[in-house]
Amino acid sequence: MEFKDLSLKEIIAKIKSKEVTQKEVYDYFLARIEKLDPTIEAFSYINKEFVEQDINSPLAWVPIGVKDMFCEKWVPTKNSTKMLENFVPPYDATVIKKLKKAGFNSIGKTANDPFWMWSSWENSDFKKSKNPWDPTRIPWGSSSWSATAVAAWLVPAALGTDTGWSCRQPWSMCSLVWFRPTYGRSSRQWIIAYSSSLDTPWTLTKTVEDAALLFEIMWGYDPMESTSIKEELKINPAIWDKKDLKWIKVWVPKEYFMEWLDAGVKNEIQKWIELMKSLWAEIIDISMPYTEYALSVYYIIVFAESSTNLSRYDGIRFGYANDESLKSLDEAYKKNRSEWFWKEAKRRIMLGSFVLSSWFYDAYYHKAALVRELIRNDFTEAFKKVDVIISPVSPEVAWKYWSEKVDDPIKMYLADVFTVPVPLAWVPAISVPCGFAKPSDWDKELPVGIQIIGPKLWEEKIFEVGHVFEQANKEYINSKKPEIF
């Protein structure tokens, strides 16, 4: 049976009905990983040991990929940096504990950029993941490896975290479903930190319903995590039966359709808007005046917080402090900080330290924090009038790796313009496949995604809208597949 063609929910149903066994499913995906991962380069660690579990558990022991910054007990967790090459945590992240209790099977760790802090992937210490739609192109974002693992059907789903764009961008460029809950819904405990006020655990799946399935297991208050929230969650199962978007008000901010949005991407988004109208959604055109500041605010905050979080990697607590070839802790410190922090990490440490310095704190970080509140207010006011906001995910389709963006960080940062307002406002969002567009340098079409943003703590609404659109657009999206797989 070709399990690669099935959703997570469909595979679980076949195991529970005893149509197939857990081992058959596990061996199938393990064989695909062993065959295709040398080309795709998605996994930094593969678990080849199968242990049968209770088939009646919610996840029925279906194999799932895990981004290499979730701590798993006695499983190597490198965060794709040589500095943590020998780190094996003696504990599980809270969300991993919840998933294990539900019958979760981690088949391996998907790689990421070192400390997951770069838009593209060319500078990874270990693997350089390829986009299954065209292996000469980037899958985009520090979660590229998770995206390619699911897009190449090496696993039916994957886990990771999103700070500003690292999930939505690769999902869009690989034609997958990404979901980010409200900040604080899922615990960050024992997930290697990047930017503490922005990081959020996410799910990557083939369908919206699969995303909801994983989210309902992962969410919940964690007394060990200071930003965890206690609000209850209820997702009405009736939303999966909806066929239209009657009574749904949708906001299309005009600021998200700037002149430099690629023409092909813009055309697909316009088609999507027309489809929503045909599904009886009410489209409203309003303004979000502080959107233009979101990118600047995001990068000031993320640099500041990442420089603080990276200060723990001092060569004593992690890395090479116990290396006998090094003569002193000072030498270990220098080796870690200078040799194993690659150029983007160094750039962010320097800029973050700069904006937090006593001379420039008020001019940069404090001001960014104040403008962040204005951006949040934009969303608060918007959701008094509409149910969801839609926007593009990326201003263009996947570009060639080693493009000019690698050496021009400003161009790379600008590609995040549509996604960074979401984490700044702490609201939930989902990215679903929208269509296909041709890049200027290729004669074949590549995936385009749409972002659906909802009010804080109202994940049910974006699941509802995303699912209705997914079903209405299913035939078109499924008409194209990555050719090489």
Catalytic residues: 67, 142, 166
| Residue 159 · residue 66 · CB < 8 Å | yes
Q: What angle do CA 446, 412, 459 make, to 5 degrees?
A: 70
Amino acid at 286: I
CA dihedral 317, 323, 326, 328 (to 10 degrees): 40
Number of other CB atoms surrounding residue 101 within 10 Å: 12
Widest CA span of the chain, in angstroms? 71
Residue 225 is classified by DSSP as: S
Distance between CA atoms of residues 424 and 418, nearest Å: 12
| Residue 454 CB partners (closer than 8 Å, separation 6+) | 383, 387, 388, 389, 427, 428, 429, 461, 462, 465
Q: What residues pair up with 191 in beta bridges, in sequence order?
A: 70
Helices and strands: H and E segment counts in the chain? 15, 11
Task: Give me Rg for the CA atoms of the chain.
Answer: 21
- List the beta bridge partners of residue 431: 178, 451
Place of tokens 């995001």: 298
Sequence-ordered strand ranges (E) for 81-214: 105-110, 158-162, 177-180, 200-205
CB atoms under 10 Å from CB of 173, counted, come to 30
